[in-house]
């Protein structure tokens, strides 16, 4: 987690504690004037209200505009809204990314129930109390838009008459040589299963073992270090085995074996070794036994930045990828995700092979833990950019129902996404289902089954410098 997000969480929790103290003091004071047994009832009511309406981590004002400035050569088409139907007079080609700019304003009910916009056969949700500029993802609905138009309707929100449709044209990157960089096992599936399962010769490179936070395995009678080693072995296996479900050959899956949350420290001291925080291991070769070929880091097994960069250089030159799929360095705050992208850029600078384009993904956000908002299977509206302007282009391939199911099953195979959530989270979901109308999928309990299994995958497109 980035320092910025830690600061936001700290501020959020401090404000929440202060609010709770005020509420508790008010209830105690009320107890002097009402029957005492009302106080515990009111405490329960306050807790239920918190879980239903105030437990989201939203670290920006929902009244903020999203700040997108697309490249100057982006094709911008005028659209019209006639009797609630969105119409586009000119044709667009299949596979193009379509982004509709509009102004959204929540109704009073949209401050308590998630507002959403239905467009054609899709629905895309936004923040409660949303007000300002937002961007709908219409990718995959081009034929209906041109032929008969798309029915556009705001629910718990008012939608201004849209005037701009951005048509972002890119080649089908699934036809290119694609390398997916996953800081941890499951990142490749979360961000890009739909893409890599359609690519002819994809390569999946996982940087870390994923061994930390292994308390659940201590229930098996293992010590903390033993539990971490077992979790690292399981997630290492996940990183190599699960891509086969998406059609990736085993000789194109590589596990580098570095240790969780140590990549930033490695970057600051490139020659120094940084072993695991929990497993008591410090030799990356223990996780590389099933790799299909040797890498530079195998020579000494040191978990250091210089070895990581050398490994990535060797992989670039071996597979010669045209497209690199990796975490967005500004949008995704996870420290290992940021360091992964930084290591790749350093490797590209040293490599004789130069990829042409980066597809940047965000499996986490600084300021909105629910994005993509809404239900599994629905579309993915553009992520919030509210503190700085995004000037990248976008590419958003569509996933049909069969691919979405395959993606859900790939996530279900990941050990880190298995198991029951804690009771508090289950209670919160039940409360939100009853009072707010939120829904979670039957495919899995983890929040990523809702967030990642959607009709769109979204990538920011950033060319590599010549």
* Cα 217 from Cα 449, distance rounded (Å): 22
- What the block records as the tokens of 39 is 């106080």
Residue-by-residue pLDDT tens, the chain, 466 positions: 445 555 555 655 565 655 666 666 665 666 555 555 666 777 788 888 888 888 888 889 999 999 999 999 999 999 999 899 999 988 888 789 999 999 999 999 999 999 999 999 999 999 999 999 999 999 999 999 988 899 999 999 999 988 899 999 999 999 999 999 999 999 999 999 999 999 999 999 999 999 999 999 999 999 999 999 999 999 999 999 999 999 999 999 999 999 999 999 999 999 999 999 999 999 999 999 999 999 999 999 999 999 999 999 999 999 999 999 999 999 998 999 999 999 999 999 999 999 999 999 999 998 899 999 999 999 999 999 998 888 999 999 999 999 999 999 999 999 999 988 899 999 999 999 999 999 999 999 999 999 999 999 999 999 997 5
- Residue 307 φ then ψ, to 5°: -65, -40
Question: For position 71, what pLDDT does the model report?
Answer: 94
Q: Are 194 and 453 in contact (CB under 8 A)?
A: no
Q: Are 292 and 319 in contact (CB under 8 A)?
A: no
- Three-state secondary structure call for residue 120: coil
381 Cβ partners below 8 Å, 6+ apart? Answer: 124, 125, 126, 134, 135, 136, 137, 372, 373
Please name every residue paired with 100 in a beta bridge, in sequence order, or none if there are none: 136, 165
- What the block records as the tokens of 66 is 């999203």
Q: Where are the domains of the chain?
A: 3-54, 173-364
Q: How far is CA 153 from CA 163, 381, 383, in A?
A: 15, 15, 20
Kindly report the CA angle at 231 between 371 and 315, in degrees rounded to 5? 75
* Cα 23 from Cα 18, distance rounded (Å): 9
440 burial type by CB count under 10 A (0-12 exposed, 13-18 middle, 19+ buried): middle
Residue the block writes with tokens 């530079």: 296
Q: Are 263 and 208 in contact (CB under 8 A)?
A: yes
* Cα 324 from Cα 344, distance rounded (Å): 9
H/E element, 424: helix 423-435
Strands (E), 259-382: 323-327, 357-361
Q: Are 78 and 163 in contact (CB under 8 A)?
A: yes
Strands (E), 96-170: 97-106, 116-119, 122-125, 131-137, 150-155, 157-159, 164-168
Q: Are 358 and 330 in contact (CB under 8 A)?
A: no
- The dihedral region occupied by 83, where left means phi > 0, alpha psi between -120 and 50, and beta the remainder, is left
Of 447, 405, 449, 381, nearest to 123 by C-alpha is: 381
* Cα 402 from Cα 131, distance rounded (Å): 35
Q: What is the 3-state secondary structure (H, E, C) of 193-204?
A: HHHHCCCCCCEE
* Cα 46 from Cα 27, distance rounded (Å): 10
DSSP 8-state code for residue 452: T
33 Cβ partners below 8 Å, 6+ apart? Answer: none
Question: Order of strands, edge to edge, in the sheet holding 80-82?
Answer: 80-82, 85-87, 150-155, 116-119, 122-125
- What the block records as the tokens of 407 is 């993606």
* Cα 277 from Cα 260, distance rounded (Å): 8
* Cα 382 from Cα 135, distance rounded (Å): 6
Question: For position 1, what pLDDT does the model report?
Answer: 45
- Residue 405 φ then ψ, to 5°: -65, -40
With a threshold of 0.75, does the pTM exceed it? yes
Question: For position 340, what pLDDT does the model report?
Answer: 98
Q: Are 88 and 81 in contact (CB under 8 A)?
A: no
DSSP 8-state code for residue 353: -
Length of the chain: 466
Q: Are 380 and 458 in contact (CB under 8 A)?
A: yes
Question: For position 389, what pLDDT does the model report?
Answer: 87
Q: How far is CA 338 from CA 113, 210, 282, 334, 421, in A?
A: 34, 16, 22, 6, 27
Identify the CATH assignment for 173-364 out of 1.10.3470, 1.10.260, 2.40.70, 3.40.50. Answer: 3.40.50
């Amino acid at each position: 987690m980035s320092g910025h997000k830690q600061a936001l969480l700290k501020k959020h929790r401090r404000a929440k504690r202060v609010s709770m103290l005020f509420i508790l003091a008010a209830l105690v004071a009320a107890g002097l004037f009402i029957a005492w047994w009302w106080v515990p009832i009111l405490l329960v009511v306050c807790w239920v209200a918190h879980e239903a309406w105030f437990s989201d981590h939203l670290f920006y004002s929902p009244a903020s505009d999203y700040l997108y400035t697309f490249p100057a050569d982006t094709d911008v088409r005028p659209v019209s809204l006639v009797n609630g139907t969105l119409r586009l007079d000119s044709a667009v080609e299949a596979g193009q990314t379509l982004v509709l700019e509009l102004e959204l304003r929540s109704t009073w009910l949209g401050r308590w129930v998630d507002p959403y916009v239905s467009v054609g056969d899709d629905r895309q949700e936004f923040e409660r109390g949303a007000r300002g500029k937002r961007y709908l993802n219409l990718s995959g609905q081009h034929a209906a838009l041109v032929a008969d138009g798309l029915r556009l309707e705001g629910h718990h929100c008012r939608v201004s008459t849209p005037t701009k449709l951005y048509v972002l044209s890119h080649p089908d990157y699934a036809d290119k040589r694609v390398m997916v960089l996953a800081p941890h096992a499951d990142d490749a599936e979360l961000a890009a299963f739909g893409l890599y399962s359609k690519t002819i010769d994809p390569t999946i490179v996982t940087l870390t073992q994923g061994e930390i936070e292994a308390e659940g395995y201590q229930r098996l009678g293992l010590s903390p270090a033993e539990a971490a080693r077992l979790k690292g072995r399981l997630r290492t296996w996940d990183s190599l085995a699960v891509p086969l479900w998406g059609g990736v050959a085993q000789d194109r899956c590589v596990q580098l074996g570095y240790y969780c949350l140590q990549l930033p420290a490695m970057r600051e001291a490139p020659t120094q070794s940084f072993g695991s925080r929990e497993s008591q291991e410090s030799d990356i070769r223990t996780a590389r036994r099933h790799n299909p070929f040797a890498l530079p880091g195998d020579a000494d097994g040191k978990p250091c930045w210089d070895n990581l960069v050398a490994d990535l250089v060797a992989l670039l030159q071996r597979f010669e990828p045209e497209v690199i799929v990796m975490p967005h360095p500004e949008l995704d705050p996870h420290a290992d995700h940021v360091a992964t992208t930084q290591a790749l850029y350093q490797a590209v600078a040293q490599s004789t092979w130069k990829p042409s384009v980066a597809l940047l993904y965000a499996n986490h956000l600084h300021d909105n833990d629910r994005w993509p908002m809404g239900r599994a299977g629905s579309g993915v509206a553009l992520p919030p950019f509210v503190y700085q302007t995004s000037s990248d282009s976008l590419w958003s391939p569509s996933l049909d129902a069969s691919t979405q199911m395959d993606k859900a099953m790939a996530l279900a195979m990941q050990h880190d996404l298995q198991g029951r959530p804690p009771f508090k989270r289950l209670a919160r979901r039940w409360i939100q289902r009853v009072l707010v109308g939120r829904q979670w999928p039957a495919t899995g309990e983890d929040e990523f089954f809702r967030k990642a299994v959607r009709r769109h995958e979204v990538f920011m497109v950033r060319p590599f410098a010549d």
